[in-house]
Amino acid sequence: MRQLFLLLFALLITACTAPTVATVVREAPVEFIILQLNDVYEIAPLEGGKAGGLARVATVRQELLRENPYVITMLAGDFLSPSFLGTMKFENEAGEREKIAGLQMVETLNAMGLDYATFGNHEFDIKDRALLEKRLAQSDFQYTVCNATAVVDGRERAFMQGNKPVPEYLIHEIPVANGAPLRLGLLGVVLPFNQINYVKYTDVTESFRSTLKQLQPVSDLAVAITHLNVDEDEALAADVPGVPLFVGGHDHSQLSRYVERTVIAKADANAKTVYIHRISHDRNSGKTSISSTIRKIDDTIADEPATKAVVDKWLARAFTVMEDMGFEPRREVAEIDEPLVCKESLIRTSQTNYGRLTMDAIAAAMPGADVYFINSGTMRLDDNIFNVVTEYDILRTYPFGGKLVRIELPGEVLERALQTGIRDNLGEGGYLQYKNVNPSDLAVNGEVIDPGKNYSVVLPEFVAKGYEANLEFLGDHYDGTNEEMLTVDGKPLRNDIRDVVIWYMGR
């Protein structure tokens, strides 16, 4: 009996002194939503009010916030430019006339609730670096880019957003109940397309790789905001694995690609669609799951009032200016069965139906020339037009307008111009949209160009003055005369490419 008591006593002492085995509590996966836009140039709905509209996107964002409080809204570049509204001027706080240059987008995106953006190539259409940085400072959302820096007085530095440099990466923290926040790393990259002198680009892949290496120790997972061609996105994802999602831009049409474990997603331009990415990340296993859906933005979605008020303010200001210029921006000019193609990647590499229509309009207004051509950089829409065409659609296609002139060119000069504009300027704003020219052999009206013959050519005055890249020599053949007014259908017509196209489509 005494031995049994001692044994039980020993077991009790052992139980009391044995180390306690802690219960491991596994953290539940962290869930959040990314709302994606890209390539947005217009704040208001298009296609007769049927498609797009940032006030509608704001409504979708609020719906998502009711689903999950952790919604992160991102824009993958191209929004400060181009737009007809952006070319206008307003009186700033100093009482000076200043180009709008994307301010309408900044204020609307601020109201909508945008969180993050990277640069697109069109941000650098703003020729004045100081003005671009002013727009960055006026943005409530944050920018990030890892392969583009500013050049100021010959020295490189980060672009400035107010008194802070635009960083190579950002950390967005998502709260976790009874745990440390989830650290979401964000890094942006832009294709080195716009070679303006105040921007220095570094190699996309190496910059991305280096930045991701810095980001990984201080984040739980990373998302890239990319403004690249889709083939460049795919190559980057293959060369630098480890990023589950590329929030992409630049291609303008909704698409998704998969490169190993990376999802590459792009929505339609001008917020005609948005991508919604529902993401779940398990810190225990390190695994990330992504469920992506495309949401059409159309007239079935109500406008969010605060964002709509900003949109209305800017539209009223813009339409007043347009009306003062003699236009009726709301007037429907035509209904079309096929989209008018004006995406930059196409208009600068081929003749599109919108380019042909423009050339036919010019020929109808100024008949009798041997050759007609315009520089594709005149057409700055970088989008397609569907269904209903308004005067505003035509104004935003040709935001800079411009006169058309008729000049005489020796055959050898014409051949050089066509060779340069159709072949050498491929992919640039100096690529030509043309009429009466065979692009394969540069024949004019079916005949080989005679070097000793003079040809009548109608073209924009901007090009005739030698202002287009690689076509400077044309300035030697223009005497500065132009027709201020044209006569069409027995009526006077202002000599401006916008008026000509409006007349032609509406007749």
| pLDDT tens by residue, 361-415 | 999 999 999 999 999 999 988 888 988 999 999 999 998 899 999 999 999 999 9
- Beta pairing partners, 155: 152
Please count the other Cβ atoms lying within 10 Å of the Cβ belonging to residue 14: 9
> What distance in Å separates the CA atoms of residue 41 and residue 446, rounded to the nearest whole number?
40
What angle separates helix 103-112 from helix 54-67, to the nearest 10 degrees? 20
Tokens for 54? 């940032």
Q: What is the pLDDT of residues 208-231, one digit of tens each?
A: 999 999 999 999 999 999 999 999
Mean pLDDT confidence for 33-46: 95
pLDDT score, position 25? 62
Tokens of 314: 């800017």
Q: Which two tokens stand for residue 288?
A: 């990330």
| Coil/strand/helix, residue 160 | strand
Q: What domains, with CATH codes, occur in the chain?
A: 30-306 (3.60.21.10), 328-506 (3.90.780.10)
Q: Give percent of the chain with pLDDT exceeding 70.
A: 95
DSSP 168: S
DSSP 116-159: EE---GGGGGS--HHHHHHHHHT-SSEE--SSEEEEETTEEE--
Nearest to 342 by CA among 287, 394, 316, 381: 381
| DSSP E strand stretches across 381-490 | 383-385, 388-390, 404-410, 432-435, 437-438, 443-444, 454-460, 485-488
Predicted pLDDT of residue 5: 41
Please state the φ and ψ torsions of residue 506, each to the nearest 5 degrees: -95, 0
pTM here is 0.85
For the chain, the C-alpha Rg in angstroms (whole number) is 29
At CA 196, angle to CA 195 and CA 199, rounded to 5? 90
| Integer Cα distance of 503 and 500 in angstroms | 5
Q: Please, what is the average pLDDT of the chain? A: 93
- How far, in Å, are 113, 318, 483, 500 from residue 403 at the CA level? 41, 22, 8, 10
Both structure tokens of 239? 């060369």
Q: What is the DSSP string of 260-293?
A: TTEEEEEPPGGGTEEEEEEEEEETTTTEEEEEEE
Q: Which of 15-29, 194-208, 335-349, 439-453 has the lowest mean pLDDT?
A: 15-29
Percent of the chain with pLDDT over 90: 83
Average pLDDT over residues 232-257: 96
pLDDT at residue 8, as a whole number: 38
